[in-house]
Amino acid sequence: MQNQYKVKALIVALVLGSVALQSCHHGGTEEQKDEKFEVTDSLLNSLLIDTVKEASALSEINLTGSIAADETKMANIYPMVSGVAHDVHVQLGDVVSKGQTLAILKSAEMAGYTKDYISAEADLRSAKRTFESTRDLYKSGLASQKDFEDAQSDYQKAVAENKRASEVVSINKGNDQGYLVKAPISGYVIEKNLTENQQVRADNSSNLFSIADLSDVYVLINVYESDISNVQVGDPVKITTLSYPDKVFTGKIDKIYDMLDPDNKVVKARVKIENPGNKLKPQMFANVTIKARSGEKLPFVNTRGLIFDDDKDYVIVVDGKAKVHVQQIEIAKRVEDRAYVKAGLKPGDRIVASRQLYLFESLKD
Protein backbone atom coordinates (compact mmCIF):
# COMPACT_ATOMS: atom_id res chain seq x y z
CA MET A 1 0.00 0.00 0.00
CA GLN A 2 2.79 2.37 0.85
CA ASN A 3 4.46 1.61 -2.47
CA GLN A 4 1.29 2.58 -4.33
CA TYR A 5 1.31 5.98 -2.59
CA LYS A 6 4.90 6.53 -3.64
CA VAL A 7 4.13 5.73 -7.30
CA LYS A 8 1.15 8.11 -7.31
CA ALA A 9 3.26 10.86 -5.76
CA LEU A 10 5.93 10.37 -8.41
CA ILE A 11 3.36 10.60 -11.22
CA VAL A 12 1.91 13.82 -9.77
CA ALA A 13 5.41 15.31 -9.54
CA LEU A 14 6.15 14.45 -13.15
CA VAL A 15 2.86 16.03 -14.33
CA LEU A 16 3.52 19.20 -12.36
CA GLY A 17 7.07 19.38 -13.73
CA SER A 18 5.81 19.00 -17.28
CA VAL A 19 3.25 21.76 -16.78
CA ALA A 20 5.91 23.97 -15.28
CA LEU A 21 8.25 23.36 -18.22
CA GLN A 22 5.49 24.13 -20.68
CA SER A 23 4.68 27.32 -18.77
CA CYS A 24 8.32 28.36 -18.87
CA HIS A 25 8.52 27.60 -22.58
CA HIS A 26 5.44 29.64 -23.39
CA GLY A 27 6.64 32.48 -21.18
CA GLY A 28 9.99 32.58 -23.00
CA THR A 29 8.25 32.60 -26.36
CA GLU A 30 6.05 35.48 -25.39
CA GLU A 31 9.07 37.38 -24.02
CA GLN A 32 11.04 36.76 -27.26
CA LYS A 33 8.08 37.86 -29.32
CA ASP A 34 7.82 41.06 -27.34
CA GLU A 35 11.53 41.84 -27.94
CA LYS A 36 11.33 41.54 -31.76
CA PHE A 37 12.32 44.87 -33.43
CA GLU A 38 9.67 46.74 -35.41
CA VAL A 39 9.87 50.10 -37.24
CA THR A 40 6.94 52.26 -36.24
CA ASP A 41 5.44 55.24 -38.03
CA SER A 42 6.68 57.60 -35.34
CA LEU A 43 10.24 56.24 -35.60
CA LEU A 44 10.26 56.52 -39.38
CA ASN A 45 8.91 60.08 -39.24
CA SER A 46 11.77 61.09 -36.96
CA LEU A 47 14.42 59.90 -39.42
CA LEU A 48 16.04 61.80 -42.29
CA ILE A 49 15.04 60.32 -45.65
CA ASP A 50 17.00 60.87 -48.91
CA THR A 51 15.60 60.25 -52.38
CA VAL A 52 17.86 58.55 -54.93
CA LYS A 53 18.48 60.81 -57.93
CA GLU A 54 20.09 60.33 -61.32
CA ALA A 55 22.76 62.50 -62.91
CA SER A 56 25.72 62.40 -65.22
CA ALA A 57 28.46 60.82 -63.18
CA LEU A 58 31.29 63.07 -62.07
CA SER A 59 34.90 62.05 -61.89
CA GLU A 60 37.82 63.80 -60.25
CA ILE A 61 40.86 64.51 -62.41
CA ASN A 62 44.02 65.55 -60.57
CA LEU A 63 46.35 67.77 -62.61
CA THR A 64 49.07 70.35 -62.11
CA GLY A 65 49.31 73.98 -63.15
CA SER A 66 50.88 77.33 -62.40
CA ILE A 67 49.73 80.79 -61.37
CA ALA A 68 49.81 83.52 -64.02
CA ALA A 69 48.86 87.18 -64.01
CA ASP A 70 45.67 88.28 -65.76
CA GLU A 71 46.98 89.74 -69.02
CA THR A 72 44.09 92.20 -69.14
CA LYS A 73 45.40 93.69 -65.89
CA MET A 74 49.11 93.66 -66.73
CA ALA A 75 51.43 96.18 -68.41
CA ASN A 76 54.88 95.61 -69.91
CA ILE A 77 57.01 98.77 -69.94
CA TYR A 78 59.47 99.25 -72.82
CA PRO A 79 61.97 102.12 -73.28
CA MET A 80 60.86 104.82 -75.69
CA VAL A 81 64.34 106.31 -75.86
CA SER A 82 67.94 105.20 -75.55
CA GLY A 83 70.00 106.20 -72.53
CA VAL A 84 71.73 105.21 -69.29
CA ALA A 85 69.65 104.22 -66.27
CA HIS A 86 70.04 105.94 -62.95
CA ASP A 87 67.79 106.35 -59.92
CA VAL A 88 66.05 102.95 -60.27
CA HIS A 89 63.47 103.38 -57.52
CA VAL A 90 61.73 99.96 -57.33
CA GLN A 91 62.60 96.32 -56.82
CA LEU A 92 60.95 93.07 -57.83
CA GLY A 93 57.74 92.50 -55.84
CA ASP A 94 57.24 96.17 -54.89
CA VAL A 95 53.75 97.68 -54.96
CA VAL A 96 53.53 100.75 -57.21
CA SER A 97 50.84 103.29 -58.03
CA LYS A 98 49.76 104.55 -61.43
CA GLY A 99 52.02 107.44 -62.52
CA GLN A 100 54.79 106.57 -60.05
CA THR A 101 58.35 107.06 -61.36
CA LEU A 102 60.12 103.70 -61.58
CA ALA A 103 63.47 104.91 -62.96
CA ILE A 104 65.15 107.78 -64.81
CA LEU A 105 67.18 107.51 -68.03
CA LYS A 106 69.83 110.06 -68.97
CA SER A 107 69.06 110.43 -72.65
CA ALA A 108 70.37 112.62 -75.46
CA GLU A 109 67.16 111.88 -77.36
CA MET A 110 65.10 113.49 -74.61
CA ALA A 111 67.25 116.65 -74.92
CA GLY A 112 66.50 116.63 -78.65
CA TYR A 113 62.75 116.22 -78.04
CA THR A 114 62.80 119.14 -75.63
CA LYS A 115 64.76 121.29 -78.11
CA ASP A 116 62.31 120.44 -80.90
CA TYR A 117 59.36 121.39 -78.70
CA ILE A 118 60.89 124.74 -77.69
CA SER A 119 61.78 125.51 -81.33
CA ALA A 120 58.28 124.54 -82.47
CA GLU A 121 56.70 126.90 -79.95
CA ALA A 122 58.96 129.76 -81.09
CA ASP A 123 58.23 129.06 -84.77
CA LEU A 124 54.51 128.99 -84.03
CA ARG A 125 54.58 132.38 -82.34
CA SER A 126 56.57 133.88 -85.24
CA ALA A 127 54.31 132.32 -87.89
CA LYS A 128 51.22 133.54 -86.07
CA ARG A 129 52.47 137.15 -85.97
CA THR A 130 53.39 137.04 -89.66
CA PHE A 131 50.02 135.57 -90.59
CA GLU A 132 48.05 138.14 -88.58
CA SER A 133 50.11 141.04 -90.02
CA THR A 134 49.78 139.80 -93.62
CA ARG A 135 46.05 139.25 -93.14
CA ASP A 136 45.59 142.86 -92.02
CA LEU A 137 47.65 144.15 -94.95
CA TYR A 138 45.68 141.96 -97.35
CA LYS A 139 42.41 143.39 -96.05
CA SER A 140 43.80 146.92 -96.55
CA GLY A 141 44.93 146.07 -100.08
CA LEU A 142 48.60 146.47 -99.21
CA ALA A 143 49.46 142.73 -99.62
CA SER A 144 48.69 140.36 -102.42
CA GLN A 145 46.57 137.27 -102.12
CA LYS A 146 49.63 135.11 -102.70
CA ASP A 147 51.42 136.75 -99.73
CA PHE A 148 48.35 136.10 -97.57
CA GLU A 149 48.07 132.44 -98.63
CA ASP A 150 51.79 131.85 -98.06
CA ALA A 151 51.58 133.35 -94.56
CA GLN A 152 48.49 131.27 -93.81
CA SER A 153 50.21 128.07 -95.01
CA ASP A 154 53.32 128.77 -92.90
CA TYR A 155 51.12 129.33 -89.88
CA GLN A 156 49.26 126.03 -90.38
CA LYS A 157 52.56 124.15 -90.74
CA ALA A 158 53.83 125.75 -87.53
CA VAL A 159 50.64 124.68 -85.68
CA ALA A 160 51.06 121.08 -86.89
CA GLU A 161 54.76 120.96 -85.99
CA ASN A 162 54.07 122.36 -82.55
CA LYS A 163 51.37 119.75 -81.97
CA ARG A 164 53.73 116.96 -83.06
CA ALA A 165 56.55 118.16 -80.79
CA SER A 166 54.13 118.54 -77.91
CA GLU A 167 52.83 114.97 -78.36
CA VAL A 168 56.38 113.60 -78.45
CA VAL A 169 57.27 115.36 -75.20
CA SER A 170 53.95 114.26 -73.66
CA ILE A 171 54.58 110.59 -74.51
CA ASN A 172 58.24 110.72 -73.50
CA LYS A 173 57.82 112.37 -70.15
CA GLY A 174 60.92 113.89 -68.69
CA ASN A 175 62.39 116.60 -66.53
CA ASP A 176 65.76 118.24 -66.03
CA GLN A 177 67.23 114.89 -64.93
CA GLY A 178 66.14 112.95 -68.00
CA TYR A 179 63.51 110.53 -69.29
CA LEU A 180 61.04 109.36 -66.63
CA VAL A 181 59.97 105.69 -66.69
CA LYS A 182 56.50 105.76 -65.11
CA ALA A 183 54.03 103.07 -64.04
CA PRO A 184 50.99 103.04 -66.38
CA ILE A 185 48.86 101.08 -63.87
CA SER A 186 48.84 100.27 -60.17
CA GLY A 187 49.99 96.82 -59.06
CA TYR A 188 52.99 94.63 -58.27
CA VAL A 189 56.32 94.67 -60.06
CA ILE A 190 56.42 91.05 -61.30
CA GLU A 191 59.37 91.50 -63.68
CA LYS A 192 62.40 93.81 -63.56
CA ASN A 193 65.14 93.92 -66.22
CA LEU A 194 66.77 97.25 -65.35
CA THR A 195 69.68 97.99 -63.05
CA GLU A 196 71.57 101.11 -62.09
CA ASN A 197 73.89 102.45 -64.84
CA GLN A 198 72.55 100.00 -67.38
CA GLN A 199 72.62 101.15 -70.99
CA VAL A 200 69.23 101.01 -72.66
CA ARG A 201 68.38 101.02 -76.36
CA ALA A 202 65.00 101.97 -77.74
CA ASP A 203 65.11 99.07 -80.22
CA ASN A 204 65.72 96.50 -77.46
CA SER A 205 62.97 93.85 -77.44
CA SER A 206 63.24 93.27 -73.67
CA ASN A 207 60.85 95.14 -71.41
CA LEU A 208 62.21 97.14 -68.49
CA PHE A 209 59.41 96.27 -66.06
CA SER A 210 56.17 94.29 -65.90
CA ILE A 211 53.43 95.44 -63.54
CA ALA A 212 50.33 93.38 -62.74
CA ASP A 213 47.18 93.84 -60.73
CA LEU A 214 47.01 90.56 -58.75
CA SER A 215 43.53 90.97 -57.24
CA ASP A 216 42.51 88.29 -59.77
CA VAL A 217 44.89 85.73 -61.25
CA TYR A 218 44.80 82.90 -63.75
CA VAL A 219 45.63 79.27 -63.07
CA LEU A 220 47.01 77.64 -66.22
CA ILE A 221 46.28 73.90 -66.01
CA ASN A 222 48.28 71.22 -67.82
CA VAL A 223 45.68 68.90 -69.39
CA TYR A 224 47.21 65.72 -70.78
CA GLU A 225 46.02 64.20 -74.04
CA SER A 226 44.25 61.35 -72.24
CA ASP A 227 42.13 63.83 -70.26
CA ILE A 228 41.32 66.37 -72.98
CA SER A 229 37.97 64.78 -73.89
CA ASN A 230 36.83 64.80 -70.25
CA VAL A 231 37.58 68.47 -69.51
CA GLN A 232 35.07 71.13 -70.58
CA VAL A 233 34.54 74.85 -70.16
CA GLY A 234 32.50 75.41 -67.02
CA ASP A 235 33.87 72.44 -65.06
CA PRO A 236 34.41 73.40 -61.39
CA VAL A 237 37.93 73.14 -60.01
CA LYS A 238 39.69 73.25 -56.67
CA ILE A 239 43.22 74.61 -56.39
CA THR A 240 45.85 74.26 -53.69
CA THR A 241 49.45 75.48 -53.61
CA LEU A 242 52.62 74.45 -51.83
CA SER A 243 52.72 77.83 -50.08
CA TYR A 244 49.18 77.53 -48.69
CA PRO A 245 48.36 73.79 -48.52
CA ASP A 246 45.36 74.30 -46.20
CA LYS A 247 43.80 77.04 -48.34
CA VAL A 248 41.50 75.86 -51.13
CA PHE A 249 40.79 78.23 -54.03
CA THR A 250 37.79 77.50 -56.23
CA GLY A 251 36.77 78.51 -59.73
CA LYS A 252 35.53 77.27 -63.10
CA ILE A 253 37.36 76.62 -66.34
CA ASP A 254 36.68 79.60 -68.62
CA LYS A 255 38.96 78.76 -71.54
CA ILE A 256 40.63 75.74 -73.11
CA TYR A 257 43.43 76.55 -75.54
CA ASP A 258 43.41 74.78 -78.91
CA MET A 259 47.17 74.39 -79.26
CA LEU A 260 49.05 71.36 -77.94
CA ASP A 261 52.42 72.06 -76.34
CA PRO A 262 54.84 70.04 -78.53
CA ASP A 263 57.33 69.55 -75.69
CA ASN A 264 55.05 68.60 -72.81
CA LYS A 265 52.17 67.18 -74.88
CA VAL A 266 49.61 69.12 -72.85
CA VAL A 267 46.79 71.52 -73.60
CA LYS A 268 46.42 74.55 -71.36
CA ALA A 269 43.11 75.19 -69.62
CA ARG A 270 42.55 78.47 -67.81
CA VAL A 271 40.76 79.29 -64.57
CA LYS A 272 40.28 82.82 -63.26
CA ILE A 273 40.13 83.02 -59.46
CA GLU A 274 39.97 85.73 -56.86
CA ASN A 275 43.21 86.35 -54.98
CA PRO A 276 42.36 87.87 -51.58
CA GLY A 277 45.39 89.40 -49.94
CA ASN A 278 47.38 88.84 -53.15
CA LYS A 279 48.66 85.55 -51.72
CA LEU A 280 49.08 83.89 -55.08
CA LYS A 281 52.08 85.02 -57.10
CA PRO A 282 52.89 84.38 -60.79
CA GLN A 283 54.83 81.15 -61.46
CA MET A 284 53.64 79.47 -58.24
CA PHE A 285 53.05 75.72 -58.62
CA ALA A 286 49.42 74.59 -58.21
CA ASN A 287 47.65 71.28 -57.65
CA VAL A 288 44.30 71.23 -59.46
CA THR A 289 41.31 68.91 -59.01
CA ILE A 290 38.68 69.07 -61.77
CA LYS A 291 35.15 67.73 -61.42
CA ALA A 292 34.63 66.35 -64.92
CA ARG A 293 31.42 64.85 -66.32
CA SER A 294 31.87 61.36 -67.71
CA GLY A 295 28.60 61.37 -69.70
CA GLU A 296 27.41 58.16 -68.00
CA LYS A 297 24.13 58.58 -66.06
CA LEU A 298 23.95 56.76 -62.75
CA PRO A 299 21.78 56.89 -59.62
CA PHE A 300 23.50 58.68 -56.77
CA VAL A 301 22.97 59.13 -53.04
CA ASN A 302 24.53 61.24 -50.36
CA THR A 303 27.34 59.34 -48.65
CA ARG A 304 25.80 60.10 -45.25
CA GLY A 305 23.25 57.30 -45.86
CA LEU A 306 25.82 54.57 -46.57
CA ILE A 307 26.65 51.66 -44.27
CA PHE A 308 29.91 49.75 -44.65
CA ASP A 309 30.03 46.28 -43.12
CA ASP A 310 32.21 43.26 -43.84
CA ASP A 311 33.74 44.88 -46.98
CA LYS A 312 30.29 45.56 -48.45
CA ASP A 313 28.11 48.67 -48.81
CA TYR A 314 24.51 48.76 -47.63
CA VAL A 315 21.61 51.18 -47.32
CA ILE A 316 18.28 51.04 -45.49
CA VAL A 317 15.53 51.32 -48.11
CA VAL A 318 12.06 52.58 -47.21
CA ASP A 319 9.63 50.39 -49.17
CA GLY A 320 6.32 51.40 -47.69
CA LYS A 321 4.62 52.86 -44.67
CA ALA A 322 6.71 51.86 -41.65
CA LYS A 323 8.46 49.22 -43.75
CA VAL A 324 12.20 49.18 -44.34
CA HIS A 325 14.75 46.62 -45.41
CA VAL A 326 18.52 46.29 -45.70
CA GLN A 327 19.76 46.58 -49.31
CA GLN A 328 23.28 45.75 -50.46
CA ILE A 329 24.56 48.10 -53.19
CA GLU A 330 27.53 48.31 -55.54
CA ILE A 331 29.22 51.72 -55.73
CA ALA A 332 30.71 52.78 -59.06
CA LYS A 333 32.58 55.84 -57.75
CA ARG A 334 32.60 58.42 -54.99
CA VAL A 335 33.04 62.13 -55.62
CA GLU A 336 33.09 64.19 -52.42
CA ASP A 337 29.68 63.66 -50.75
CA ARG A 338 28.15 61.77 -53.68
CA ALA A 339 28.18 58.01 -54.19
CA TYR A 340 27.25 56.84 -57.70
CA VAL A 341 25.51 53.46 -57.54
CA LYS A 342 26.17 50.76 -60.13
CA ALA A 343 23.67 48.22 -58.76
CA GLY A 344 21.13 47.88 -55.95
CA LEU A 345 19.24 51.19 -56.25
CA LYS A 346 17.24 53.05 -58.87
CA PRO A 347 16.17 56.71 -59.16
CA GLY A 348 13.21 57.46 -56.93
CA ASP A 349 14.11 54.96 -54.20
CA ARG A 350 14.10 56.36 -50.68
CA ILE A 351 16.80 55.55 -48.15
CA VAL A 352 17.29 56.33 -44.47
CA ALA A 353 20.01 58.94 -43.96
CA SER A 354 20.10 59.18 -40.15
CA ARG A 355 20.51 56.55 -37.40
CA GLN A 356 20.89 54.00 -40.19
CA LEU A 357 23.54 52.08 -38.27
CA TYR A 358 21.09 51.49 -35.43
CA LEU A 359 18.47 50.22 -37.88
CA PHE A 360 21.04 48.08 -39.69
CA GLU A 361 22.14 46.31 -36.49
CA SER A 362 18.51 45.74 -35.53
CA LEU A 363 17.35 44.47 -38.93
CA LYS A 364 20.27 42.43 -40.25
CA ASP A 365 19.58 39.49 -37.89
Secondary structure (DSSP) of 20-69: HHHHHHHHHHHHHHHH-----HHHHHTS-EEE-EEEEEEEEEEEEEEEEE
- Domains, the chain, in order of start with CATH, read 41-56+297-363 (2.40.420.20), 61-71+214-295 (2.40.30.170), 72-211 (2.40.50.100)
Alpha-carbon torsion (281, 285, 287, 290), positive or negative: positive
Q: How far apart are CA 102 and CA 309, in angstroms?
A: 67
Burial of 86 (0-12, 13-18, 19+ CB in 10 A): middle
pLDDT in tens, 85-124: 888 989 988 999 998 999 988 887 777 777 888 899 999 9
pLDDT in tens, 261-306: 887 888 999 999 998 888 898 889 999 998 877 666 778 888 898 9
Average pLDDT over residues 43-54: 84
Average pLDDT over residues 334-363: 84
Burial of 271 (0-12, 13-18, 19+ CB in 10 A): buried
Per the prediction, the chain carries an average pLDDT of: 82
Q: Answer whether residue 175 shows pLDDT above 70.
A: no
Which residue type does 267 have?
V
Burial of 170 (0-12, 13-18, 19+ CB in 10 A): exposed
What do you get for the CA distance between the two ends of the chain, in Å? 58
Q: Answer whether residue 65 shows pLDDT above 80.
A: yes
